[in-house]
């Protein structure tokens, strides 16, 4: 089971806020979608959302999120006044759907947008915006798994001829942790130095070789 950064009770609020942020930045501030994606990824807002920071998930509106992104990355505050709208725009759906997938998969926004360009997501809107979100999840999972192949840990472990269970037993790192590192559902770059040392000692490699770029 995927370890998620925040509880599901925050999810609807987070989805709506990121949807509104995309809608406001692109439709009201006239920032090209691909450009706003780059700014969002470069900002601390994306990482703070990934980490489940309550003040951001439950305490910020979409307009405030977009403003934070723009202030941090461009040094400029948007001058466009938010306008009331009814219904969900294509841009809203993109932020809303990506936010759900990030929560569901525990993958980073950077990884998600590395696989799906803004145009890819915009094109998906027409066939998926009225479908259950699980359809988007299935498509995203398939493409992301195809894009991100074996982790360094899996590649080195396989070359060494060691099973996950053997590695767990010999290193003292739990089997579940090893599985999650190899599935990229847990970031090995954030593993403790002790865990990295014990794994590297078993596999005869240096600790840095296990880290992901």
The model's pLDDT over 124-137, given as tens digits with 9 standing for 90+, comes to: 999 999 999 999 99
pLDDT, tens digit, 9 for 90 and up, residues 144-192: 878 877 888 998 998 889 999 999 999 999 999 999 999 888 899 999 9
* Residues spanned by the domain of 173: 152-210
User: In a 10 Å sphere around its CB, with 0-12 CB exposed, 13-18 middle and 19+ buried, how is residue 56 labelled?
Assistant: buried
Q: Read off the CATH number of the domain in which 171 is found.
A: 1.10.260.40
124 and 174: one domain?
A: no
Is it the case that residue 3 has pLDDT exceeding 70?
Answer: no
Please give the Cα distance from 177 to 7 (Å, whole number).
20
64 and 31: one domain?
A: yes
pTM for this model (two decimals) = 0.72
Q: Is 64 inside any structural domain?
A: yes
Q: Is 1 inside any structural domain?
A: no
Instruction: Kindly report the length of the chain.
Output: 213
Quick one: pLDDT band at residue 112, thresholds 50, 70, 90?
Answer: very high
Whole-angstrom CA distances from 75 to 64, 147, 174, 202 are 15, 34, 45, 48
């Amino acid at each position: 089971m995927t370890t998620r950064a925040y509880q599901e009770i925050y999810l609807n609020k987070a989805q709506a806020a990121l949807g509104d942020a995309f809608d406001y930045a692109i439709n009201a501030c006239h920032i090209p979608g691909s450009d706003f994606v780059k700014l969002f990824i470069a900002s601390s807002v994306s990482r703070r959302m990934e980490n489940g920071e309550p003040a951001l998930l439950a305490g910020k509106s979409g307009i405030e999120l977009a403003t934070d992104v723009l202030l941090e990355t461009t040094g400029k505050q948007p001058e466009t006044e938010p306008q009331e709208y009814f219904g969900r725009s294509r841009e809203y759906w993109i932020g809303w759907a990506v936010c759900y997938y990030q929560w569901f998969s525990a993958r980073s926004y950077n990884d998600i947008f590395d696989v799906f360009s803004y145009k890819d997501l915009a094109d998906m809107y027409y066939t998926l915006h009225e479908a259950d979100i699980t359809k988007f999840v299935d498509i995203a999972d398939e493409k992301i798994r195809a894009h991100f192949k074996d982790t360094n840990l899996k590649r080195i472990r396989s070359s060494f001829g060691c099973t996950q269970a053997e590695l767990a037993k010999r290193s003292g790192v739990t089997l579940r942790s090893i599985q999650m590192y190899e599935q990229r559902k847990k970031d090995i770059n954030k593993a403790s130095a002790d865990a990295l040392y014990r794994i590297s000692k078993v596999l005869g490699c240096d600790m840095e070789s296990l880290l992901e770029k």
